[in-house]
Amino acid sequence: MLIPLLVALAMTAVSFTLVGRRLLMLYRIGRAAQPVEPGRVGGGRRLAAALRAELVEVLSQRRVVRWTGPGVAHAAVFWGFLILLLTLVERYGALFQRDFALPVIGRWAVVGFLEDLAVVAVLAAVATFGVIRWRRSPSREGRASRFFGSHNEAARFTLAMICVEMVTLLLYRAAQVATGYFPYPDGAFVSEWLGGLLEPLGSDVLDVLEPVAILLSLGVLLAFLVFVVHSKHLHILLAPINVALARRPRALGALLPVHSGGKPVDFDDPGEDDLMGRGKIEDFTWKGLLDFATCVECGRCQSECPAWNTGKPLSPKLLVMALRDHALAKAPVLLAGSDAERAALPADVLAEAERPLVAAPADGGVVDPEALWACTTCGACVEQCPVDIEHVDHVVDLRRHQMLFESEFPSEAGVALRNLEHAGDPWGGGASHRMDWAADLPFPVRVLGEDGEERLPDDVEYLFWVGCAGAFDETAQRTARAVAELLHRADVSFMVLGEAETCCGDTARRMGNEFLFRELARANIETMDAAGVRKIVVTCAHCLNTLGNEYPQFGGSYEVVHHTELLARLVADGRLTPTERVDATVAYHDACYLGRHNGIYDPPREVLATVPGVRLVELPRNRERSFCCGAGGARMWMDETTGTRINVDRTDEALALSPDLITAACPFCIVMLTDGVGTRRQQGAAAEHVEVTDVAQVLLRSTANSQAAGSQEVEP
Ligand code: SF4
Ligand code: SF4
In DSSP terms, which residues pair with 561 in a beta bridge? 537
Domain boundary among 370, 386, 408: 408
Q: 659 versus 57: which is more confidently predicted?
A: 659
End-to-end C-alpha distance for the chain, whole angstroms: 72
If you measure from the C-alpha of residue 392 to the centroid of ligand 2, how many angstroms do you get, rounded to a whole number?
A: 13
Residues 230 and 272 both lie in one domain: no
Query: At residue 652, what are phi and psi to the nearest 5 degrees?
Result: -60, -40
What separation in angstroms does the CA of 177 have from each of 1, 194, 216, 219?
17, 8, 17, 21
Classify residue 661 by its DSSP letter. E
Angle between helices 563-572 and 695-702 (to 10 degrees): 30
324 has pLDDT over 70: yes
For ligand 2, whether the C-beta of 318 sits within 6 Å is no
Residues 633 and 532 both lie in one domain: no
* Nearest Cα residue to 466 out of 420, 431, 414: 431
Q: How many CB atoms are located within 10 Å of the residue 66 CB?
A: 14
Domain boundary among 202, 219, 244: 244
Give 206-255 pLDDT, tens digit per residue.
999 999 999 999 999 999 999 999 987 888 899 999 999 999 888 999 99
Tell me, yes or no, whether 32 lies in a domain.
no
Residues 124 and 83 both lie in one domain: yes
If you measure from the C-alpha of residue 234 to the centroid of ligand 2, how many angstroms do you get, rounded to a whole number?
A: 13
Share of the chain above pLDDT 70, in %: 98
The 3-state secondary structure of 374-438 reads CCCCCCHHHHHCCCCCCHHHHHHHHHHHHHHHHCCCCHHHHHHHHHHHHHCCCCCCCHHHCCHHH
Spatial distance between the Cα atoms of 599 and 681, rounded to a whole number of angstroms: 33
Q: How many CB atoms are located within 10 Å of the residue 440 CB?
A: 8
If you measure from the C-alpha of residue 559 to the centroid of ligand 1, how many angstroms do you get, rounded to a whole number?
A: 28
For ligand 1, whether the C-beta of 305 sits within 6 Å is yes
pLDDT at 708: 39
Please enumerate in sequence order all residues whose Cβ is within 8 A of that of 331, keeping only pairs 6 or more positions apart, or say none.
Answer: 25, 29
CATH code assigned at 644: 3.40.50
pLDDT at 369: 98
Residues 91 and 125 both lie in one domain: yes
Residue 39 banded pLDDT, cuts 50, 70, 90? confident
Give 530-588 pLDDT, tens digit per residue.
999 999 999 999 999 999 999 999 999 999 999 999 999 999 999 999 999 999 999 99
Ligand 2 pocket test, pick from 147, 243, 295, 314 with the greatest ligand atom count within 8 Å of Cβ, gives 295
For ligand 1, whether the C-beta of 375 sits within 6 Å is yes
In DSSP terms, which residues pair with 285 in a beta bridge? 34
Query: At residue 475, what are phi and psi to the nearest 5 degrees?
Result: -70, -40
Spatial distance between the Cα atoms of 332 and 128, rounded to a whole number of angstroms: 39
Query: Which ligand has the minimum distance to the alpha carbon of residue 596?
Result: 1
If you measure from the C-alpha of residue 320 to the centroid of ligand 2, how many angstroms do you get, rounded to a whole number?
A: 8
pLDDT at 716: 33
Domain boundary among 189, 213, 244: 244
Classify residue 520 by its DSSP letter. H
97-104: long-range contacts, CB 8 A cutoff, minimum separation 24: 98/1, 98/181, 99/181, 99/183, 100/183, 101/183, 102/183
Spatial distance between the Cα atoms of 695 and 661, rounded to a whole number of angstroms: 10
Spatial distance between the Cα atoms of 695 and 605, rounded to a whole number of angstroms: 9
713 has pLDDT over 60: no
Tell me, yes or no, whether 642 lies in a domain.
yes
Query: At residue 585, what are phi and psi to the nearest 5 degrees?
Result: -85, 120
Spatial distance between the Cα atoms of 538 and 668, rounded to a whole number of angstroms: 13
440 has pLDDT over 60: yes
Residues 70 and 178 both lie in one domain: yes
494-495 and 263-264 beta bridge pairing? unpaired
CA angle 628–632–636, rounded 5-degree value: 110
For ligand 2, whether the C-beta of 296 sits within 6 Å is yes
Spatial distance between the Cα atoms of 573 and 562, rounded to a whole number of angstroms: 17
Spatial distance between the Cα atoms of 159 and 157, rounded to a whole number of angstroms: 5
Q: How many CB atoms are located within 10 Å of the residue 682 CB?
A: 9
Contact between 225 and 19 under an 8 Å Cβ cutoff? The reply is yes
pLDDT at 714: 33
CA angle 416–498–508, rounded 5-degree value: 25
Give 61-113 pLDDT, tens digit per residue.
777 767 777 888 999 999 999 999 999 999 999 999 999 999 999 999 999 99
Tell me, yes or no, whether 502 lies in a domain.
yes
The 3-state secondary structure of 461-516 reads CEEEECHHHHHHCHHHHHHHHHHHHHHHHCCCCEEECHHHCCCCCHHHHHHCCHHH
Give 630-641 pLDDT, tens digit per residue.
999 999 999 999
If you measure from the C-alpha of residue 301 to the centroid of ligand 2, how many angstroms do you get, rounded to a whole number?
A: 6
Cβ density class 313-334: b for 16+ within 10 Å, e for less:
bbbbbbbbbbbbebbbbbbbbb
Give 107-128 pLDDT, tens digit per residue.
999 999 999 999 999 999 999 9
705 has pLDDT over 80: no
Spatial distance between the Cα atoms of 358 and 367, rounded to a whole number of angstroms: 5
| 3-class DSSP state of 318 | helix
* Nearest Cα residue to 119 out of 73, 184, 165, 177: 165
If you measure from the C-alpha of residue 389 to the centroid of ligand 2, how many angstroms do you get, rounded to a whole number?
A: 7
Lowest average pLDDT, out of 198-202, 258-262, 335-339, 466-470, goes to 335-339
Spatial distance between the Cα atoms of 304 and 69, rounded to a whole number of angstroms: 17
Tell me, yes or no, whether 459 lies in a domain.
yes
Instruction: Give the closest residue (by CA) to ligand 1 atom 7.
Output: 305
Instruction: Give the closest residue (by CA) to ligand 1 atom 2.
Output: 378
360 has pLDDT over 70: yes
Average pLDDT of the residues of the chain: 94
Residues 151 and 106 both lie in one domain: yes
For ligand 2, whether the C-beta of 389 sits within 6 Å is yes
Tell me, yes or no, whether 667 lies in a domain.
yes
If you measure from the C-alpha of residue 649 to the centroid of ligand 2, how many angstroms do you get, rounded to a whole number?
A: 23
Q: 453 versus 621: which is more confidently predicted?
A: 621
Spatial distance between the Cα atoms of 137 and 146, rounded to a whole number of angstroms: 8
* Nearest Cα residue to 694 out of 588, 569, 570, 568: 588
pLDDT at 42: 77
Range of 547's domain? 420-570
347 has pLDDT over 90: yes
Tell me, yes or no, whether 254 lies in a domain.
no
Give 142-191 pLDDT, tens digit per residue.
999 999 999 999 999 999 999 999 999 999 999 999 999 999 999 999 99
260: enclosing H helix or E strand: strand 259-260
Q: pTM score, two decimals? A: 0.93
Across 628-702, the runs of DSSP E, i.e. the strands, are 661-664, 691-694
Residues 504 and 640 both lie in one domain: no
Classify residue 298 by its DSSP letter. -
Query: At residue 20, what are phi and psi to the nearest 5 degrees?
Result: -60, -45
Residue type, 50: A
* Nearest Cα residue to 164 out of 223, 96, 79, 85: 223
Instruction: Give the closest residue (by CA) to ligand 2 atom 2.
Output: 385
712 has pLDDT over 80: no
Residues 554 and 593 both lie in one domain: no
Ligand 1 pocket test, pick from 314, 397, 596 with the greatest ligand atom count within 8 Å of Cβ, gives 314
For ligand 1, whether the C-beta of 594 sits within 6 Å is no
pLDDT at 711: 32
Tell me, yes or no, whether 33 lies in a domain.
no
Residues 362 and 470 both lie in one domain: no
Residue 323 banded pLDDT, cuts 50, 70, 90? very high
Spatial distance between the Cα atoms of 164 and 218, rounded to a whole number of angstroms: 11
Q: How far is CA 231 from the centre of its chain?
A: 23
Average pLDDT of the segment spanning 284-300: 96
Spatial distance between the Cα atoms of 564 and 128, rounded to a whole number of angstroms: 43
Residues 162 and 194 both lie in one domain: yes
- Total domains in the chain come to 4
**Ligand 2 atom nearest to CA at 300:** 3
Tell me, yes or no, whether 36 lies in a domain.
no
pLDDT at 51: 87
**Ligand 2 atom nearest to CA at 150:** 5
For ligand 1, whether the C-beta of 377 sits within 6 Å is yes
Residue type, 597: H
Residues 656 and 514 both lie in one domain: no
Residues 20 and 165 both lie in one domain: yes
* Nearest Cα residue to 225 out of 9, 12, 10, 29: 12
Contact between 500 and 448 under an 8 Å Cβ cutoff? The reply is yes
Instruction: Give the closest residue (by CA) to ligand 2 atom 6.
Output: 295
Please enumerate in sequence order all residues whose Cβ is within 8 A of that of 173, keeping only pairs 6 or more positions apart, or say none.
Answer: 87, 115, 116, 182, 188, 191, 194, 195
Share of the chain above pLDDT 90, in %: 88
